[in-house]
Structure 1
Amino acid sequence: MSNSLDPQQIRTIQQYDAQQRYHYLLKEVINNAQIWLLVDEHGCVMLNTEEEDCVPVWPNKEFAQAWATEEWSHCKAEAISLEKWHNRWTHGLEEDELAVVVFPDQNNEGLIFFPDEFDYELHQQAKKSAAKKQR
């Protein structure tokens, strides 16, 4: 499971650009075998762009919980196991024609992926991590 981040680590990571946050998320999700969402009684929080309806995902509880303000103050951070993500979420998001916005910052900016693309990237990161552990 994930380790808590100290305030300095959180501040440092929050300064990352979208690409750096994306790479950080991939590593954290694979290392911790979980991905974080914000949820309420109706389901997960969604963000909308001009082209896509997106489900935001975060690498750690602290970053997801930081979004639980204002209109989402009633939401809570919830971890989804990586296995459940691969087995249910990817397919469900595709069926619902939803995209994934990876680790959005406080300005709602993050990289957007189709669910199958994001799933592929997670699998690629898992292969890289496994190869490093074998060395």
Structure 2
Amino acid sequence: MTAPITFDDAFYRIPSSERYTQVVTLIKKGQPVWTLADAEGCLIIDLGSDKVLPIWPTEALAADWGKKEYEGFNGLEISAADWSEKWLLGMQNDGYSVGVAPNLAGECIVSSAEEHALDIKA
């Protein structure tokens, strides 16, 4: 049984796989996800072979994560419906991956948009 979800610094300390599961569970329950964006668009992290859109379960976690290296980026809320029905489809078409709830060291589960969509539907 997983512990109750709390969104503070302790969230970053739980294993990446558990953060992933918690975020997927929230999306299934209709909760929005948050990413970072500026005037140019969403933050996409280029990992060489992967172009990754990071997401978090709260605006505070997204903003906290981005404040050191991504000044000028703000939280962007994406409804669960838009995430599932629009964003993931567009990301599949563009070949982007999803980085679910990176911790402050940047560690997270990265999956293709297609795999992530399947996890949400499962």
Normalized against structure 2, the TM-score is what?
Answer: 0.86
Structure 2 distance, partners of 1:94, 1:24, is 22
CA distance 1:31–1:119, change in 2 (3 Å): same
Instruction: Name the counterpart of 1:42.
Output: 40
Matched length: 118
Unaligned regions of 5+ residues in structure 1, if any? 125-135
SS in 1 for 2:36: strand
Identity %: 20
Unaligned regions of 5+ residues in structure 2, if any? none
Question: How many Å apart are 1:32 and its aligned residue?
Answer: 4.5
Paired residues for 1:77-96 under 5 Å: 77-96=75-94
CA distance 1:30–1:88, change in 2 (3 Å): same
Question: Which letter does structure 1 place at the counterpart of 2:38?
Answer: D
Question: How many Å apart are 1:49 and its aligned residue?
Answer: 1.9
Off by >3 Å, runs of 4+ in structure 1: none
**Match for 1:67 among 65, 68, 75?**
65
Structure 2 distance, partners of 1:48, 1:41, is 19
Paired residues for 1:89-104 under 5 Å: 89-104=87-102
CA distance 1:35–1:98, change in 2 (3 Å): same
| Larger Cα-atom Rg | 1
Structure that is richer in helix per residue: 1
Normalized against structure 1, the TM-score is what?
Answer: 0.78
